[in-house]
Amino acid sequence: MRNGSEKHVWLTAAQCAERTGVTVRALRLYEQAGLIQPRRNGKNWRLYGTGEVARLTEILALKRLGLSLQHIAGLMAGHATDLDRMLTMQTIALQGKLQRLQQSLAMVEALRAKTAAGTLLSVDDLVKLAKEMNMRDASMDSVAWRRYEQARPRTEKNIAPGLYTDYAGFYLLDEHVFAITSRDGRLFARLTGQAELEIFAEDEDRFFYKAVQAQVTFVRNEDGAVSGLILHQNGYEQAAQRVEAKVALAVDEALAERIRKNQPVENSEALLREMIEQHQRGEPDYARMMPALALASHEQSAAIQSELEELGSIREISFKCVDPEGWDVHDVTFDNGELEFKFILASDGRFGGIFFRPVS
């Protein structure tokens, strides 16, 4: 059904179902759930145009990630379809699946080659395979939809000003401190080593940044007191427990002292060398990483291995500094190039973050 030009094509429910591969019954179900609102013509027929089909595509993408209709309705409520955001989410999910499949296939083929040569599989071989399957169970799909959710538009809401005093205080995010300050009827958040930024209420206990795509949810205990917070960013969620001011001050002072002395963590160079060589072999030790980093590293493992393999063997690692956020920074010289690496350890000794870039 056309109305004037190719830009205004309207599909009936049957046509929309046939072209998108869903059933008419599913379209009605999405309508009943308030997810999609087709237009009506003079005969009260449902009509689906560009906006409705875009909305339908968004629904199907989220369903593919395993979300319920109720959850999808919550994610999509109050905002128009953002095609770029939706396509980005689908790209992340598909890239993650492709990389997992490629890595799993390469591992299985290598094990098949060993058995074909008459070699018995070792415990290490089977443990590595079990690890790979476990990482697949963790699924990048959940990361993809969390990124989607965290990127959706937020609407500021007025909440009782008295609540701001509930949130003000200090929260320990591993070895960093989240300082929440209430000032002039506004709320501000600052993570150790970073600038203070204002956060805005989306609802009681739920806030969002405007400067970055991130949100903060305050957690209350059984008595209703704020006992912690959760930072939602980059598809991951990090919990921080509320602490006394003296605890936060001690953590900040210890970090400040290490930065003043420019003192790397113990065995910093050896830890970095081992991590790089593991990635070059395609055998990163995910157990030595915090969960968010493990998932991100697994998601990008093929690309990281390819880039580091091309650089060749490590020739020299030179410590540069401890940056203002407490990351150890090194220059690493390879046979075929040079990169700057920075990493930070969590309180239990696992890697909390790793980045690398060309030496500037």
pLDDT per residue as tens digits for the range 126-164: 777 776 655 544 445 566 667 777 777 888 999 998 899
What is the rounded distance in angstroms from the CA atom of residue 17 to the CA atom of residue 8? 18
pLDDT above 70 as % of the chain:
84
Q: Which residue, chain included where needed, has tokens 């000003």?
A: 161
Cα–Cα dist 250/252, whole Å: 5
Condensed to tens digits (0 to 9), the pLDDT of residues 260-270 reads 999 999 999 99
Q: 193-197: long-range contacts (C-beta < 8 A, 24 or more apart)?
A: 193/255, 193/323, 193/324, 193/325, 193/326, 194/325
Q: Is the Cβ–Cβ distance between 358 and 338 less than 8 Å?
A: yes
pLDDT in tens, 38-94: 888 888 888 888 888 888 888 887 777 666 777 777 767 766 666 666 676 666 666
Give the DSSP H or E segment for 202: strand 197-203
Residue with tokens 């993408």: 61
C-alpha dihedral (197, 201, 204, 207), degrees to nearest 10? -50
What are 193-204's pLDDT values in tens digits?
Answer: 788 999 999 999
Q: Looking at beta carbons, which pairs linking 198-202 to residues 24 or more positions away fall under 8 Å?
A: 200/154, 200/156, 201/156, 201/157, 201/158, 201/159, 202/154, 202/155, 202/156, 202/157
Parallel, antiparallel, or unpaired: how do β-strands 226-233 and 214-220 relate? antiparallel
- DSSP reduced 3-state for 55: helix
The closest alpha carbon to 238, from 264, 261, 219, belongs to 219
Kindly give the residue spans of alpha helices, DSSP state H, lying in the chain. Answer: 13-20, 24-32, 50-64, 69-76, 83-116, 123-138, 140-151, 163-167, 245-261, 268-281, 291-299, 301-311
pTM tops 0.85: no
Nearest residue to 1 (alpha-carbon basis) of 12, 44, 56: 12
Residues 6+ apart with CB under 8 A from 254: none
